[in-house]
Amino acid sequence: MEKLYSIKMRSSKGELHISGAERIVSESEIESIAVQLINRALNHSRGRADFINLKIEELKELPTFKPLLPVFELTGYKCVKSLLEKLFSLSEIPVDLGIKTYERLLSGPAPDGKTMRGAMVVEVPSGKRLEPDKYRGVRASYLDVDRETSELVKKSVREGYTENFKEALVLSTKILSFEGVLGELCVSDDPDYTTGYLSLKGKGYFRIKNIKPQGLFTGGRAIFIKPKVKISELIHYLEKVPFIAKGFSSYSAVPIEEIERLFS
Ligand code: PML
Output the pLDDT for position 19. 87
Q: In this structure, what is the dihedral angle of CA atoms 35, 162, 181, 110, given to the nearest 10 degrees? A: 80
Buried b (16+ CB within 10 A) or exposed e, 226-245: eeebeeeebbebbeebbbbb
Atom of ligand 1 nearest to the CA of 221: 4
pLDDT in tens, 142-187: 999 999 999 999 999 999 999 999 999 999 999 999 999 999 999 9
CB atoms closer than 10 angstroms to residue 202? 11
Q: Average pLDDT in the 107-121 region? A: 94
Cα of 165 vs centre of ligand 1, distance in Å, is: 5
The last residue of one of the domains, among 40, 60, 80, is 60
Same domain assignment for residues 125 and 238: yes
Query: What local confidence, expressed as pLDDT, does residue 46 receive?
Result: 78
pLDDT, residue 17, reads: 83
Is 145 within 8 Å of 129 (Cβ atoms)? no
Is there a single domain that holds both residue 42 and residue 76? no
Residues 208 and 252 in one domain: yes
Ligand 1, pocket residues at CB < 6 Å: 162, 164-165, 168, 186, 188-190, 193, 195-197, 207
What is the Å distance from ligand 1's center to 3 Cα? 31
What distance in Å separates the CA atoms of residue 133 and residue 117, rounded to the nearest whole number? 10
Any idea of the CA torsion for 79, 89, 231, 134, to the nearest 10 degrees?
20
Work out the pLDDT band at 18, boundaries 50, 70, 90. Answer: confident
Residues 70, 30 share a domain: no
Supply the residue whose CA is at minimum distance from atom 1 of ligand 1.
188
Q: Which of 60, 86, 101 is the last residue of a domain?
A: 60
137 and 220 in a common domain: yes
Q: Are residues 254 and 227 in the same domain?
A: yes
Task: Please determine, for residue 264, whether its predicted confidence score (pLDDT) is greater than 80.
Answer: no
Instruction: Quote the pLDDT of residue 252.
Output: 95
pLDDT band at 263 (very low <50, low <70, confident <90, very high): confident
Instruction: Give distance in angstroms: CA of 176 to centre of ligand 1.
Output: 16
**Residue ending a domain, choose from 60, 80, 97:** 60
131 with 228, same domain?
yes
- Size (the chain), residues: 264
In terms of domains, do 127 and 98 share one?
yes
Decide: pTM greater than 0.85.
yes
Rounded distance from Cα 183 to ligand 1 centre (Å):
15
What's the gap in Å between 195 CA and the centre of ligand 1?
6
Within 13 Å, how many C-alpha atoms sit on residue 51's CB side? 8
**143 & 81 share domain:** yes
Host domain of residue 20: 4-60
Residue nearest to atom 9 of ligand 1 (CA): 165
> In the prediction, which pLDDT does 194 show?
96
Question: Do 128 and 257 reside in the same domain of the chain?
Answer: yes
Number of domains in the chain: 2
C-alpha dist (Å) from residue 216 to 36, 111, 191, 222: 30, 18, 5, 18
Are residues 153 and 123 located together in one domain of the fold? yes
Provide, rounded to the nearest whole percent, the portion of the chain with pLDDT above 70.
Answer: 100
Residue nearest to atom 7 of ligand 1 (CA): 165
- Does 108 lie in the same domain as 72? yes
pLDDT in tens, 181-223: 999 999 998 888 999 999 999 999 999 999 999 999 899 999 9
